[in-house]
């Protein structure tokens, strides 16, 4: 049987595959372990929306393939999928009740790839509704379909968003792997807040067709896992590309960016991470990245224009029960639950975008991307750095549905605008709450993973969630 209560939650992906191939466990036993964990803990965390009713049949097929010697890269490994990624016959709602009764007819392209790896599609995870692109007063981790997902370390704290359920489920040991999506921070921030590895790959590494979009030109599908090696193994299986060995630690040159307006606890913990890296032989160089209003405004203007165009294209291709952003706004207005905690002012802004603003979105997107890439490239070249490390986010905040979430304090925006890979590695705790550092800079996802694995080897630290009801 598989034990899922260790600090890392699961044996490594390599070990899981080895046990399956040696006959020490079966795909059905792995699935049962996940289902037992979901049954025991999801009432506390509320991360999993639905279990795929075909999961048992998938596991049996994996067992047959393993016995026949025709196993695929992730054969028999259970994987959860965020609820904005289409799964044929299994509800995909982006958190909205308007999509709940009409499952997609076909899988998203990335799910097609996932099935081809032999993974067992375990089920769907809750998320911040519409990718947290509904309201400036929204609460991350809440959707009308799934309610509030909670942080498994401290149950009144936020799991972050929008890949809330995927991160919380992996942190709680409900599955060894999960897929999420990110436009800006939606993989790396919940990963950091829940104490797991989150990988936002380079733009375009994984296909986006069949994913409910915020922006078709900035969104990416990412991976949540227990370790960098596990995330790299999942991405290698999905892409057919080989993972890289970790880069040598001694002599590695990393920039240390302290972010913007991070609190003193975060900065003190970051200094400890830097000290550990230096003791291991890493050259750590303090750096600054710019924060300029015009390109950031360009990026937001582009998002607003891209959202309506992308969403309506997705709804038409899926033949969804709502066909336009106007239909969505009207449907929400008729549903007391949808608007019970916060409104839809961001959707209303997107609905008001003019044809002229849509035409301007492309040039604005290009300017924002060029600014962000130049900012990262410049700091890497100036100091001969391999990558930048930075605090991913301040620790998880207390959920307050009345007040909404506090202003974001994270470092995801520049790599998101640049389309660069961004990875967060758990590196300890601030009190009872996980703390993670981001690694970004290399344009190649597997090169960034190799740096992140070196960082993890020096100062990575995970703990099993305590499921505390609250903390001071």
- pLDDT tens readout for residues 186-195: 999 999 999 9
* 422 phi/psi in degrees, rounded to 5: -140, 130
Q: Sort strands 120-125 and 78-82 into parallel, antiparallel or unpaired.
A: parallel
Tell me which of 331, 365, 399 is where a domain ends: 365
Active site residue 162: yes
Which is the catalytic residue, given 96, 135, 143, 162?
A: 162
For residues 378 and 351, membership in a common domain is answered with no
**pLDDT at res. 408:** 82
pLDDT for residue 2: 54
Is residue 207 located within the same domain as residue 311? no
User: Exactly one of 135, 143, 166, 186 is catalytic; which is it?
Assistant: 186
User: Is-contact 192 164, C-beta < 8 A?
Assistant: no
Shared domain check, 454 and 327: no
Q: Are residues 35 and 143 in the same domain?
A: yes
Q: Is there a single domain that holds both residue 142 and residue 225?
A: yes
Give the residues of the chain that fall short of pLDDT 50.
Answer: 1, 4-8
Tell me the HSE value of 273 on the side-chain side, using a 13 A CA sphere: 35
CA–CA separation, 106 vs 90, rounded Å? 10
Q: State the alpha helices, DSSP H only, in 46-157.
A: 55-68, 109-116
Say if residue 323 is in the same domain as residue 456: no
Per-residue pLDDT at 5: 39
Task: Answer whether 0.85 is exceeded by the pTM.
Answer: yes
Answer positive or negative: Cα dihedral of 339, 342, 344, 345: positive
Residues 108 and 136 placed together within one structural domain of the fold: yes
Last residue of a domain, one of 324, 341, 365: 365
Whole-angstrom CA distances from 123 to 56, 73, 77, 240 are 12, 20, 13, 24
CA distance 126 to 221: 15
Domain identity same for 123 and 222: yes
Using alpha carbons, list the distances in angstroms from residue 389 to 185, 283, 441, 446: 15, 12, 9, 16
Domain co-membership, 199 together with 69:
yes
pLDDT in tens, 359-395: 999 999 999 999 999 999 999 999 999 999 999 999 9
Give the domain extent around 386: 1-289+369-472
Tell me the backbone φ, ψ of residue 371, rounded to 5 degrees: -60, -45
Q: Are residues 281 and 315 in the same domain?
A: no
Q: Which of 82, 124, 200, 364 is catalytic?
A: 82
Residue closest to 413 by CA, chosen among 286, 277, 292: 292
Q: Are 276 and 185 members of one domain?
A: yes
Question: Which CATH number goes with the domain that contains 115?
Answer: 3.90.1300.10
- How many distinct structural domains can be found in the chain? 2
- The answer on 343 and 374 residing in a single domain is no
Which of these three, 306, 334, 365, is where a domain ends? Answer: 365
- Told to judge if 186 belongs to the known catalytic residues of this protein, a careful annotator would answer yes
């Amino acid at each position: 049987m598989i034990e899922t209560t260790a600090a890392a939650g699961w044996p490594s992906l390599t070990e899981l595959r080895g046990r399956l191939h040696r006959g020490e466990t079966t795909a059905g036993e792995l699935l049962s372990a996940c289902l037992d964990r979901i049954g025991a803990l999801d009432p506390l965390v509320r991360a999993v929306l639905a279990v795929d009713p075909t999961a048992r049949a998938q596991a049996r097929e994996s067992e047959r393939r393993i016995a026949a010697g025709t196993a695929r890269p992730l054969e028999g490994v259970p994987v959860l999928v965020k609820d904005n990624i289409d799964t044929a016959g299994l509800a995909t709602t982006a958190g909205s009740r308007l999509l709940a009764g009409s499952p997609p007819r076909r899988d998203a392209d990335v799910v097609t790839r996932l099935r081809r790896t032999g993974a067992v599609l375990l089920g769907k995870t809750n998320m911040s509704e519409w990718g947290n692109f509904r309201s400036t007063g929204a609460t991350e981790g809440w959707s009308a379909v799934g309610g509030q997902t909670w942080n498994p370390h401290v149950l009144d704290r936020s799991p972050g968003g929008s890949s809330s359920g995927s991160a919380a489920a992996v942190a709680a040991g409900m599955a060894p792997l999960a897929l999420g999506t990110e436009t800006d921070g939606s993989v790396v921030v919940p990963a950091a807040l829940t104490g797991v590895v989150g990988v936002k790959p380079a733009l375009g590494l994984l296909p986006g067709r069949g994913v409910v979009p915020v922006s078709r030109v900035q969104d990416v599908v990412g991976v949540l896992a227990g370790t960098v090696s596990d995330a790299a193994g999942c991405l290698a299986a999905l892409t057919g590309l080989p993972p890289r060995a970790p880069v040598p630690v001694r002599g590695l040159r990393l920039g240390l960016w302290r972010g913007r307006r991070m609190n003193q606890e975060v900065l003190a913990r970051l200094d400890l991470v830097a000290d550990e890296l230096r003791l291991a032989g890493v050259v750590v160089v303090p750096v600054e990245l710019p924060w300029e209003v015009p390109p950031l405004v360009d990026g937001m203007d582009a998002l607003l224009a891209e959202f309506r165009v992308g969403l309506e294209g997705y709804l038409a291709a899926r033949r969804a029960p709502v066909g336009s952003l106007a239909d969505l706004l009207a449907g929400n207005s008729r549903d007391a639950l949808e608007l019970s905690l916060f409104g839809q002012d961001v959707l209303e802004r997107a609905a008001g975008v003019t044809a002229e603003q849509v035409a301007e979105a492309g040039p604005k997107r290009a300017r924002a991307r060029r600014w962000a890439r130049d900012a990262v490239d410049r700091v890497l070249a100036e100091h001969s750095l391999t990558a930048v490390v930075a605090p991913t986010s301040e620790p998880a905040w207390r959920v307050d549905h009345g007040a909404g979430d506090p202003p974001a304090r994270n470092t995801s925006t520049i790599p998101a605008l640049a389309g660069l890979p961004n990875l967060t590695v758990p590196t300890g705790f601030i009190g009872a709450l996980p703390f993670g550092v981001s690694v970004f800079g290399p344009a190649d996802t597997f090169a960034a993973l190799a740096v992140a694995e070196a960082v993890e080897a020096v100062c990575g630290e995970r703990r099993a969630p305590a499921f505390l009801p609250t903390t001071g």
